[in-house]
């Protein structure tokens, strides 16, 4: 039972767990209205929460939306377009909006996106389950969202019409990686349902930070093979790289919303190569050296610090 | 399983329903930092959501909190004091904080308070169940919060130290009715658990508006006996009334967070006079005249319009 009463109602069933997440998006901090078409903001507000649910190995079912809007924005088509983007993604995954709150704000848009999902009892994938010897995988490609953000910061904007020029198309693709991220809902559900992942986290802060979180929660370390990190092909492309360092963006850039997970060696044969045409890539291994993340590049080894490097000689 | 992963996890059980609500509080709209001590803001953020859960006849169990704070406020003791007020109320009701989000904001505090409750399957009390002939009750007293807000708007502030003067004490009590509302958690749970209420809503917008909502959702009308409306005794007191019209405040003032409910005549004998020393007062009856709310005062009758009166002669 949804919208229209003091609260929404969801029936419970033995053998299921509910997972729930909330993500606050504040104008001027998490997005800029000048860059962000309202339809894509509606998409992204839901996408970031779907990504959290996917990272638990759960299936998203219900959403709530608290939205604060200043009067001038309220009178525009902003809210309609926002909901259009929100519902397009919600409908695609069968997620039902069951409630929330609407408020005026003095001058900025603020959104709190709440998503509830379900998972078979005890099958939620936590950050705590990685063990030494597990392999580390990541879905999709990395660095695209951070590159898109850099391009937006330097004045790039989405064109009204599609372009046929290859360089322009690549620049648009990168902006969309930032403005319209695709949560890995199918991957998350599959990894949880088939008990494939021992630990999982979604890449919102960036590979270096989020792998650090996962290792801390599991009490383990990690060794990453730099040459295996799947850098976004547009980031690596000549047409757009210039001042961008693809590896730095892939390691430290946030908001790719890919899934980082660990898997036991004996379960590898059950791991699909791709789900919904999104591949998962082996990038390294879990170690017993708690708290330390080593980057291996050929014969060289670095110790990773989140957001930066520390040189390390052997 | 709570804070520290991508999402929180709650176990489901056959025979239970989950109820969930979200309330957005925006600085400059829903509160002013100059009036609102952070400890009371933490209390109120949770209280408004507990009130929604109570209005469903459910028991509050878990909370999530999304909070956005500007840098200068972050560096102050604001957040600590906010959580102190939040947890004092949460602990009192055994409500556990299981997650949420924290974000920077450019310049204003924003809070989204999410509360999940539980109720036996199918026993949630909706707004739709009122039937002609049911009696209408309200818990506690009305108009105090709106009077407190008027006093704050006219420059009254909570004193640092307790006062012994009766008039000052009354002015403080009214401010606290606005700044630190007490949700009727025990009443709500009792009315739901014992299937006493046919419909229920919490008084956040005001008696006139919220009774209108309930009547619309139930497809009924109502007749209110004006002399029975329990006006807050401090509002009616000589010391503070002056420019305040007690009945107007009780009818149209918002944020009292009392419960308005309807009950079948045959269930009246099972209704407690008070719960936790908070009484419930009979104020009128449900009628079949859908959408019309009549105020009866002796031999005079008025038709109510939410937020104002329309004169009506018989």
Q: Per the CB < 8 Å rule, is A25 touching B103?
A: yes
State how far Cα B252 lies from the chain centre.
14
Proportion of chain B above pLDDT 70, given as a percent = 93
Average pLDDT, integer, range B211-236:
95
Closest CA to A90 of A67, A63, A114: A63
Q: Per the CB < 8 Å rule, is B106 touching A29?
A: yes
pLDDT of A162 reads 65
Residue of B nearest to A7 (CA): B21
In this complex, the residue of A10, A105, A127 whose CB is nearest that of residue B17 is: A10
Q: Per the CB < 8 Å rule, is A26 touching B56?
A: no
All residues of chain A having their beta carbon less than 8 Å from the beta carbon of residue B68 are 24, 26, 29, 110
Average pLDDT, integer, range B120-140:
97
Give residue B155's pLDDT band: very low, low, confident or very high (50, 70, 90).
confident
**Distance, in angstroms, between B188 CA and closest chain A CA?**
12
Q: Per the CB < 8 Å rule, is B9 touching A1?
A: no
All residues of chain A having their beta carbon less than 8 Å from the beta carbon of residue B21 are 6-8, 99
pLDDT of B238 reads 60
* A19-28, A303-312, B113-122: least confidently modelled range: A303-312
**Distance, in angstroms, between A84 CA and closest chain B CA?**
21
Residue A293, pLDDT above cutoff 80:
yes
Q: Per the CB < 8 Å rule, is A99 touching B5?
A: no
Task: Dump pLDDT digits (tens) for A38-54.
Answer: 999 999 999 999 999 99
**Distance, in angstroms, between B120 CA and closest chain A CA?**
10
8 A C-beta contact, residue A187 and residue A139: yes
Print the SS3 string covering chain B. Answer: CCECECCEEEECCCCEEEEEEEEEEEECCCECCCCCCHHHHHHHHHHHHHHHHHCCCCEEEEEEEEEEECHHHHCCCHHHHHHHHHHHHHHHCCCEEEEEEEEECCCCCEEEEEEEEEEECCCCCCCCCCCCCCEEEEECCECHHHHHHHHHHCCCCCCCCCCCCHHHHHHHHHHHHHHCCCCCHHHHHHHHHCCCCCEEEECCCCHHHHHHHHHHHHCCEEEEEHHHCCECHHHHCCCCCCCCCHHHHHHHCCCCCCEEEEECHHHHHHCCCEECCEEEEEEEEEECCCCCEEEEECCEEEEEECCEEECCCC
Residue of A nearest to B124 (CA): A9
Residue A309, pLDDT above cutoff 70:
no
User: For residue A266, what is the DSSP state?
Assistant: G
All residues of chain A having their beta carbon less than 8 Å from the beta carbon of residue B110 are 24, 26, 68, 105, 110
Task: Dump pLDDT digits (tens) for B33-69.
Answer: 999 999 999 999 999 999 999 999 999 999 999 999 9
Q: For residues A137 and A200, what is the distance between their CA atoms, to the nearest angstrom?
A: 10
pLDDT of B237 reads 77
In this complex, the residue of B6, B105, B126 whose CB is nearest that of residue A21 is: B6
pLDDT of A305 reads 73
Number of inter-chain CB pairs under 8 A, A vs B: 206
pLDDT of B311 reads 39
User: B14, B112, B127: which to substitute to probe chain A, counting the most A Cβ within 10 Å?
Assistant: B112
**Distance, in angstroms, between A169 CA and closest chain B CA?**
33
In this complex, the residue of B4, B24, B127 whose CB is nearest that of residue A103 is: B24
**Distance, in angstroms, between B26 CA and closest chain A CA?**
6
Name, in order, each residue with C-beta under 8 angstroms of A290's C-beta and a sequence gap of 6 or more. A215, A219, A220, A221
**Distance, in angstroms, between B41 CA and closest chain A CA?**
17
Q: Per the CB < 8 Å rule, is A14 touching B10?
A: no
Task: Dump pLDDT digits (tens) for A263-288.
Answer: 999 999 999 999 999 999 999 999 99
Q: For residues B96 and B113, what is the distance between their CA atoms, to the nearest angstrom?
A: 13
Q: Per the CB < 8 Å rule, is B56 touching A4?
A: no
pLDDT of B145 reads 95
Task: Dump pLDDT digits (tens) for A213-244.
Answer: 999 999 999 999 999 999 999 988 765 556 67
Residue B90, pLDDT above cutoff 50:
yes
All residues of chain B having their beta carbon less than 8 Å from the beta carbon of residue A197 are none
Q: If you average pLDDT over every residue of chain A, what do you get? A: 92
Give residue A307's pLDDT band: very low, low, confident or very high (50, 70, 90).
low
All residues of chain A having their beta carbon less than 8 Å from the beta carbon of residue B99 are 20-22
Q: Per the CB < 8 Å rule, is B64 touching A7?
A: no
Closest CA to B239 of B147, B107, B106, B145: B147
pLDDT of B162 reads 65
Task: Dump pLDDT digits (tens) for A75-128.
Answer: 999 999 999 999 999 999 999 999 999 999 999 999 999 999 999 999 999 999
Residue B245, pLDDT above cutoff 90:
no
pLDDT of B240 reads 55
Residue B312, pLDDT above cutoff 50:
no
Q: Per the CB < 8 Å rule, is A28 touching B105?
A: yes
Average pLDDT, integer, range A176-201:
97
Task: Dump pLDDT digits (tens) for B122-131.
Answer: 999 999 999 9
pLDDT of A205 reads 93
């Amino acid at each position: 039972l949804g919208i229209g009463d003091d609260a929404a109602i969801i029936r419970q069933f033995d053998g299921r767990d509910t997972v729930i997440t909330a993500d606050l998006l504040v104008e001027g901090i998490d997005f800029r209205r000048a860059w962000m078409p309202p339809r894509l903001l509606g998409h992204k507000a839901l996408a970031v929460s779907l990504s959290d649910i996917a990272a638990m190995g759960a299936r998203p079912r219900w959403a709530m939306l608290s939205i604060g809007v200043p009067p001038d924005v309220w009178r525009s088509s902003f809210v309609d377009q926002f909901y259009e983007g929100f519902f397009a993604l919600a409908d695609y995954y069968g997620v039902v909006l069951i409630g929330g709150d609407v408020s005026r704000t003095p001058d900025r848009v603020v959104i709190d996106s709440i998503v509830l999902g379900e998972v078979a009892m005890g099958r939620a994938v936590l950050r705590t389950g990685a063990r030494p010897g597990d392999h580390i995988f990541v879905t999709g490609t990395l660095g695209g969202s951070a590159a898109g953000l850099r391009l937006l910061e330097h004045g790039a904007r989405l064109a009204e019409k599609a372009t046929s020029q290859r360089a322009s198309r690549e620049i648009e693709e990168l902006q969309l990686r930032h403005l319209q991220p695709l949560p890995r809902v199918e991957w998350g559900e599959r990894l949880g349902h088939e008990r494939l992942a021992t630990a999982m986290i979604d890449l919102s802060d960036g590979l270096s930070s989020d792998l650090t979180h996962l290792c801390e929660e599991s009490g383990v370390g990690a060794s990453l093979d730099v040459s295996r990190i799947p850098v976004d092909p547009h980031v690596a492309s000549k047409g757009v790289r210039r001042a961008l360092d693809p590896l730095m963006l892939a390691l430290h850039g946030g908001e790719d919303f890919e899934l980082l997970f660990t898997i036991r060696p004996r379960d590898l044969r059950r791991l699909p190569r791709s789900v919904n045409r999104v591949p998962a890539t082996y990038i390294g291994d879990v170690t017993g050296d708690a708290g330390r993340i080593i980057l291996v590049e050929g014969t060289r080894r670095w110790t990773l610090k989140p957001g930066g490097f520390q040189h390390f000689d052997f």
